[in-house]
Amino acid sequence: MMIGKKVQDTRVRTGIPGMDDLLEGGFIRNSTVLLRGKAGSGKTIFGLQYLLYGALHDEPGILLSIEETKKDLYRESLRFGWNLEFLERQGKLAILEKHTQYSITIHEIEKAALRIGAKRVVVDSIPALFSSYPNELQPSEHRSAFHLLCQVLTDSCDCTVILISETDWSERLFYEEYVPKGVIELSTKMMEGIARKFLLIKKMREVRHSKREHLYEITDNGFTLFIPRTKYGRE
Ligand SMILES: Nc1ncnc2c1ncn2[C@@H]1O[C@H](COP(=O)(O)OP(=O)(O)O)[C@@H](O)[C@H]1O
Ligand SMILES: [Mg+2]
Protein backbone atom coordinates (compact mmCIF):
# COMPACT_ATOMS: atom_id res chain seq x y z
CA MET A 1 0.00 0.00 0.00
CA MET A 2 1.29 3.48 -0.85
CA ILE A 3 1.04 5.92 2.00
CA GLY A 4 1.81 9.60 1.64
CA LYS A 5 4.91 10.65 3.59
CA LYS A 6 2.95 13.38 5.31
CA VAL A 7 0.43 10.91 6.77
CA GLN A 8 3.16 8.52 7.89
CA ASP A 9 5.07 11.25 9.75
CA THR A 10 2.12 11.91 12.00
CA ARG A 11 1.71 8.25 12.88
CA VAL A 12 3.02 6.26 15.83
CA ARG A 13 4.11 2.76 14.88
CA THR A 14 2.51 0.08 16.99
CA GLY A 15 5.33 -2.47 16.96
CA ILE A 16 2.77 -5.22 16.25
CA PRO A 17 3.68 -7.01 13.00
CA GLY A 18 0.89 -6.42 10.46
CA MET A 19 -0.95 -3.81 12.50
CA ASP A 20 0.35 -0.53 11.03
CA ASP A 21 -0.73 -1.56 7.53
CA LEU A 22 -4.31 -1.69 8.78
CA LEU A 23 -4.05 1.88 10.11
CA GLU A 24 -2.36 3.81 7.28
CA GLY A 25 0.90 3.60 9.19
CA GLY A 26 0.00 3.51 12.88
CA PHE A 27 -1.88 5.37 15.63
CA ILE A 28 -2.44 9.09 15.32
CA ARG A 29 0.09 10.95 17.46
CA ASN A 30 -1.24 12.14 20.82
CA SER A 31 -4.41 10.11 20.55
CA THR A 32 -5.89 7.53 22.93
CA VAL A 33 -6.83 4.07 21.76
CA LEU A 34 -8.91 1.67 23.80
CA LEU A 35 -7.80 -1.96 23.60
CA ARG A 36 -10.30 -4.38 24.99
CA GLY A 37 -10.82 -8.10 25.22
CA LYS A 38 -11.35 -10.86 27.73
CA ALA A 39 -8.72 -12.14 30.17
CA GLY A 40 -5.97 -14.01 28.36
CA SER A 41 -6.62 -12.36 24.98
CA GLY A 42 -3.14 -10.79 24.92
CA LYS A 43 -3.86 -7.18 25.91
CA THR A 44 -0.90 -6.86 28.25
CA ILE A 45 1.44 -8.42 25.68
CA PHE A 46 0.15 -6.00 23.00
CA GLY A 47 0.75 -3.08 25.35
CA LEU A 48 4.24 -4.21 26.31
CA GLN A 49 5.18 -4.75 22.66
CA TYR A 50 4.01 -1.20 21.85
CA LEU A 51 6.20 0.19 24.64
CA LEU A 52 9.14 -2.00 23.70
CA TYR A 53 9.03 -0.80 20.09
CA GLY A 54 9.01 2.79 21.33
CA ALA A 55 11.87 2.14 23.77
CA LEU A 56 13.99 0.85 20.88
CA HIS A 57 13.03 3.71 18.54
CA ASP A 58 13.60 6.84 20.60
CA GLU A 59 10.08 7.00 21.99
CA PRO A 60 10.31 6.14 25.69
CA GLY A 61 7.16 4.87 27.36
CA ILE A 62 5.33 4.44 30.63
CA LEU A 63 3.39 1.42 31.76
CA LEU A 64 0.85 2.05 34.45
CA SER A 65 0.47 -1.49 35.71
CA ILE A 66 -2.37 -1.90 38.15
CA GLU A 67 -3.08 -5.53 37.30
CA GLU A 68 0.41 -6.97 37.62
CA THR A 69 3.47 -6.28 39.72
CA LYS A 70 6.70 -5.12 38.15
CA LYS A 71 8.38 -8.31 39.32
CA ASP A 72 5.85 -10.53 37.52
CA LEU A 73 6.10 -8.41 34.35
CA TYR A 74 9.90 -8.62 34.35
CA ARG A 75 9.71 -12.40 34.63
CA GLU A 76 6.92 -12.94 32.06
CA SER A 77 8.58 -10.64 29.51
CA LEU A 78 11.88 -12.51 29.59
CA ARG A 79 9.94 -15.38 28.05
CA PHE A 80 9.62 -13.19 24.92
CA GLY A 81 13.22 -12.04 25.16
CA TRP A 82 12.20 -8.59 26.40
CA ASN A 83 14.39 -7.23 29.18
CA LEU A 84 12.15 -4.61 30.75
CA GLU A 85 14.44 -4.11 33.76
CA PHE A 86 17.33 -3.16 31.48
CA LEU A 87 15.15 -0.72 29.50
CA GLU A 88 13.99 0.86 32.74
CA ARG A 89 17.58 1.32 33.91
CA GLN A 90 18.36 2.98 30.58
CA GLY A 91 15.46 5.41 31.08
CA LYS A 92 13.60 4.15 28.03
CA LEU A 93 10.75 2.68 30.01
CA ALA A 94 9.10 3.42 33.35
CA ILE A 95 6.78 0.94 35.00
CA LEU A 96 4.54 2.40 37.68
CA GLU A 97 2.92 -0.16 39.92
CA LYS A 98 -0.46 -0.30 41.58
CA HIS A 99 -1.51 2.63 43.73
CA THR A 100 -4.57 3.22 45.76
CA GLN A 101 -4.84 6.99 45.31
CA TYR A 102 -5.78 8.30 41.92
CA SER A 103 -4.28 11.75 42.46
CA ILE A 104 -0.91 10.25 43.31
CA THR A 105 -1.03 8.15 40.18
CA ILE A 106 -1.67 11.12 37.89
CA HIS A 107 1.10 13.09 39.55
CA GLU A 108 3.48 10.16 39.30
CA ILE A 109 2.73 9.62 35.63
CA GLU A 110 3.46 13.27 34.90
CA LYS A 111 6.71 13.09 36.86
CA ALA A 112 7.81 9.90 35.11
CA ALA A 113 6.83 11.32 31.69
CA LEU A 114 9.01 14.34 32.30
CA ARG A 115 11.90 12.27 33.65
CA ILE A 116 12.19 9.92 30.66
CA GLY A 117 10.72 12.20 27.97
CA ALA A 118 7.86 9.76 27.40
CA LYS A 119 6.06 9.57 24.09
CA ARG A 120 3.94 6.51 24.83
CA VAL A 121 1.73 5.36 27.70
CA VAL A 122 -0.13 2.12 28.39
CA VAL A 123 -2.69 1.92 31.19
CA ASP A 124 -3.24 -1.70 32.25
CA SER A 125 -6.08 -1.52 33.00
CA ILE A 126 -8.86 1.06 33.26
CA PRO A 127 -11.21 -1.18 35.32
CA ALA A 128 -8.36 -2.04 37.70
CA LEU A 129 -7.40 1.63 38.00
CA PHE A 130 -10.93 2.72 38.80
CA SER A 131 -11.57 -0.10 41.24
CA SER A 132 -8.38 0.85 43.10
CA TYR A 133 -9.97 4.16 44.12
CA PRO A 134 -10.47 4.48 47.84
CA ASN A 135 -14.17 5.30 47.39
CA GLU A 136 -16.48 3.85 44.82
CA LEU A 137 -17.18 6.38 42.06
CA GLN A 138 -20.57 7.41 40.77
CA PRO A 139 -21.06 6.94 36.98
CA SER A 140 -20.71 10.69 36.33
CA GLU A 141 -17.48 10.78 38.36
CA HIS A 142 -16.19 7.84 36.34
CA ARG A 143 -16.80 9.76 33.18
CA SER A 144 -14.98 12.89 34.27
CA ALA A 145 -12.11 10.88 35.73
CA PHE A 146 -11.81 9.04 32.44
CA HIS A 147 -11.81 12.33 30.49
CA LEU A 148 -9.23 13.84 32.80
CA LEU A 149 -6.96 10.81 32.52
CA CYS A 150 -7.09 10.90 28.69
CA GLN A 151 -6.40 14.63 28.68
CA VAL A 152 -3.48 14.50 31.09
CA LEU A 153 -1.81 11.64 29.23
CA THR A 154 -2.17 13.08 25.73
CA ASP A 155 -1.85 16.81 26.44
CA SER A 156 0.32 17.43 29.49
CA CYS A 157 2.36 14.23 29.08
CA ASP A 158 2.47 14.62 25.27
CA CYS A 159 1.97 10.88 24.71
CA THR A 160 0.12 8.46 22.46
CA VAL A 161 -1.90 6.23 24.72
CA ILE A 162 -3.28 2.70 24.87
CA LEU A 163 -5.97 2.19 27.48
CA ILE A 164 -6.56 -1.46 28.23
CA SER A 165 -10.04 -2.53 29.25
CA GLU A 166 -12.15 -5.62 29.77
CA THR A 167 -14.89 -6.54 27.32
CA ASP A 168 -17.55 -7.09 29.98
CA TRP A 169 -16.68 -3.96 31.91
CA SER A 170 -16.72 -1.72 28.82
CA GLU A 171 -20.21 -2.75 27.85
CA ARG A 172 -21.48 -1.16 31.03
CA LEU A 173 -19.69 2.13 30.44
CA PHE A 174 -20.68 3.38 27.02
CA TYR A 175 -18.66 6.65 27.23
CA GLU A 176 -15.48 4.62 27.26
CA GLU A 177 -16.05 4.06 23.54
CA TYR A 178 -16.73 7.69 22.68
CA VAL A 179 -13.84 9.48 24.33
CA PRO A 180 -10.87 7.66 22.74
CA LYS A 181 -10.03 8.15 19.08
CA GLY A 182 -9.94 4.43 18.48
CA VAL A 183 -11.32 1.16 19.78
CA ILE A 184 -9.62 -2.16 19.09
CA GLU A 185 -11.38 -5.35 20.08
CA LEU A 186 -9.87 -8.77 20.70
CA SER A 187 -12.08 -11.83 20.63
CA THR A 188 -11.90 -15.61 20.44
CA LYS A 189 -13.95 -17.95 18.28
CA MET A 190 -14.04 -21.71 18.26
CA MET A 191 -13.33 -22.99 14.76
CA GLU A 192 -13.14 -26.71 14.14
CA GLY A 193 -12.40 -27.27 17.79
CA ILE A 194 -9.57 -24.74 17.93
CA ALA A 195 -9.81 -21.39 19.70
CA ARG A 196 -8.84 -18.72 17.16
CA LYS A 197 -8.02 -15.19 18.15
CA PHE A 198 -9.33 -12.18 16.19
CA LEU A 199 -8.58 -8.47 16.21
CA LEU A 200 -11.07 -5.90 14.95
CA ILE A 201 -10.48 -2.16 14.62
CA LYS A 202 -13.94 -1.14 15.70
CA LYS A 203 -13.26 2.54 15.14
CA MET A 204 -10.33 4.88 14.50
CA ARG A 205 -11.38 8.45 13.85
CA GLU A 206 -9.57 10.26 11.00
CA VAL A 207 -8.10 6.97 9.74
CA ARG A 208 -9.10 4.90 6.73
CA HIS A 209 -8.70 1.60 8.54
CA SER A 210 -9.41 -2.04 7.89
CA LYS A 211 -12.95 -3.09 8.77
CA ARG A 212 -12.23 -6.79 8.84
CA GLU A 213 -11.51 -9.19 11.63
CA HIS A 214 -7.89 -10.25 11.50
CA LEU A 215 -6.54 -13.46 12.87
CA TYR A 216 -3.70 -13.05 15.37
CA GLU A 217 -1.47 -15.27 17.39
CA ILE A 218 0.69 -15.03 20.49
CA THR A 219 3.95 -16.88 20.17
CA ASP A 220 7.37 -16.69 21.81
CA ASN A 221 7.89 -13.58 19.64
CA GLY A 222 4.85 -11.85 21.06
CA PHE A 223 1.71 -10.58 19.34
CA THR A 224 1.50 -11.04 15.53
CA LEU A 225 -1.31 -10.48 13.05
CA PHE A 226 -1.87 -12.68 10.03
CA ILE A 227 -2.38 -10.52 6.99
CA PRO A 228 -3.26 -12.38 3.81
CA ARG A 229 -1.05 -11.67 0.82
CA THR A 230 -4.12 -10.57 -1.13
CA LYS A 231 -5.80 -7.24 -0.40
CA TYR A 232 -7.18 -7.07 3.12
CA GLY A 233 -10.06 -4.89 1.99
CA ARG A 234 -11.35 -1.58 3.20
CA GLU A 235 -15.03 -2.22 2.86
N1 LIG B 1 5.06 -17.77 25.01
C2 LIG B 1 3.78 -17.83 24.68
N3 LIG B 1 3.39 -18.52 23.60
C4 LIG B 1 2.10 -18.57 23.24
N5 LIG B 1 1.12 -17.96 23.90
C6 LIG B 1 1.43 -17.27 25.00
C7 LIG B 1 2.77 -17.16 25.45
N8 LIG B 1 2.77 -16.40 26.56
C9 LIG B 1 1.50 -16.05 26.77
N10 LIG B 1 0.68 -16.58 25.86
C11 LIG B 1 -0.77 -16.37 25.73
O12 LIG B 1 -1.04 -15.05 26.10
C13 LIG B 1 -2.10 -15.00 27.04
C14 LIG B 1 -1.83 -13.96 28.10
O15 LIG B 1 -1.66 -12.73 27.49
P16 LIG B 1 -1.93 -11.40 28.31
O17 LIG B 1 -1.40 -10.29 27.50
O18 LIG B 1 -1.41 -11.52 29.68
O19 LIG B 1 -3.53 -11.38 28.32
P20 LIG B 1 -4.52 -10.30 28.95
O21 LIG B 1 -3.70 -9.14 29.39
O22 LIG B 1 -5.48 -9.97 27.86
O23 LIG B 1 -5.21 -11.00 30.08
C24 LIG B 1 -2.16 -16.37 27.64
O25 LIG B 1 -3.50 -16.69 27.91
C26 LIG B 1 -1.61 -17.26 26.58
O27 LIG B 1 -2.66 -17.73 25.77
MG1 LIG C 1 -3.39 -8.35 31.29
Residues 47-89: tens digit of each pLDDT: 999 999 999 999 999 999 988 999 999 999 999 999 999 999 9
In the predicted model, what is the mean pLDDT of the chain?
88
| 232, part of any domain | no
Of 35, 115, 215, which Cα lies nearest the Cα of 95?
Answer: 115
| 230, part of any domain | no
| 57, part of any domain | yes
How confident is residue 93, by pLDDT bands cut at 50, 70 and 90? Answer: very high
Does ligand 1 lie within 6 Å of residue 44's CB atom?
yes
Question: Which pLDDT does position 178 carry in this prediction?
Answer: 72
Dump strand ranges (E) for 67-147: 93-97, 120-124
132, burial (CB in 10 Å: exposed 0-12, middle 13-18, buried 19+): middle
Question: What b/e string do you get for 64-103 counting C-beta neighbours within 10 Å, with b at 16 or more?
Answer: bbbbbebeebbeebeebebebbebbeeebbbbbeeeeebe
| 125, part of any domain | yes
The total number of structural domains in the chain stands at 1
Which residues span the domain enclosing 205? 5-225
What is the pTM assigned to this prediction? 0.92
Mean pLDDT across the stretch 135-157?
84
CATH number for the domain spanning 41: value is: 3.40.50.300
Does ligand 1 lie within 6 Å of residue 39's CB atom?
yes
| 233, part of any domain | no
Does ligand 1 lie within 6 Å of residue 135's CB atom?
no
Decide if pLDDT at 172 tops 60.
no
Decide if pLDDT at 228 tops 80.
no
Lowest mean pLDDT among 19-33, 110-124, 139-153, 190-204: 139-153
Dump strand ranges (E) for the chain: 11-12, 27-28, 32-37, 61-65, 93-97, 120-124, 160-166, 182-191, 194-204, 213-219, 222-225
| 75, part of any domain | yes
Mean pLDDT across the stretch 104-113?
84
